[in-house]
Amino acid sequence: MVRHPYSIQRQLQEEKEERKQFRNIDREYIKGAYLYGLLIAALAYFILQLGYEGDQTAMVLLSYALYPFGRIVWDLAIGFWLDYRFNDAPVQVFYTQLKVVIHLLILMFSLFLAPIGLLYLGGSALGRKVKKWGREDGD
């Protein structure tokens, strides 16, 4: 039996590797989240200034500081998968508009989402340390 070079296992492996590119949470992710969060925070500040009499600067700044960590929760839950699926899709314009609304909501609820994202970062860092210690002990 002759095996075709593009077997289903190979295609699945290639797709898995491609999906990994969308799931990286590292310094570049946090920097990008702060940059994107700055745009979203400016939009939120503008919207809040139109609708409220009081000064909302402190709330927007606090939400901006916590936004990347709240965004981790969304991205791990469904955001990375959606980004992967709609990367080259014909509905990308609609998806981009939807992302702006979603990220405004993430900014608004970042005070509640950020602790979960920080716990995830701490847990994954601790897991990497434990795995590293296990490899050192095995040598």
Residue 92 lies in a domain: yes
Segment 34-43, tens digit of pLDDT = 999 999 999 9
* Angstrom distance (rounded) from CA 105 to CA 44: 10
Residue 55 lies in a domain: yes
* Angstrom distance (rounded) from CA 103 to CA 114: 13
**Does residue 139 surpass a pLDDT of 70?**
no
Asked if 102 and 83 count as a contact pair (C-beta separation under 8 A), the reply is: no
Segment 41-97, tens digit of pLDDT = 999 999 888 887 778 889 999 999 999 999 999 999 998 888 888 877 788 888 889
Residue 41 lies in a domain: yes
Residue 17 lies in a domain: no
Residue 18 lies in a domain: no
The two structure tokens encoding residue 69 = 């960590």
* Angstrom distance (rounded) from CA 128 to CA 51: 46
Residue 125 lies in a domain: yes
Q: How many domains does the chain have?
A: 1
* Angstrom distance (rounded) from CA 42 to CA 61: 10
Asked if 136 and 130 count as a contact pair (C-beta separation under 8 A), the reply is: no
The residue range of the domain holding 59 is 25-138
* Overall pTM surpassing 0.75 (yes/no): yes
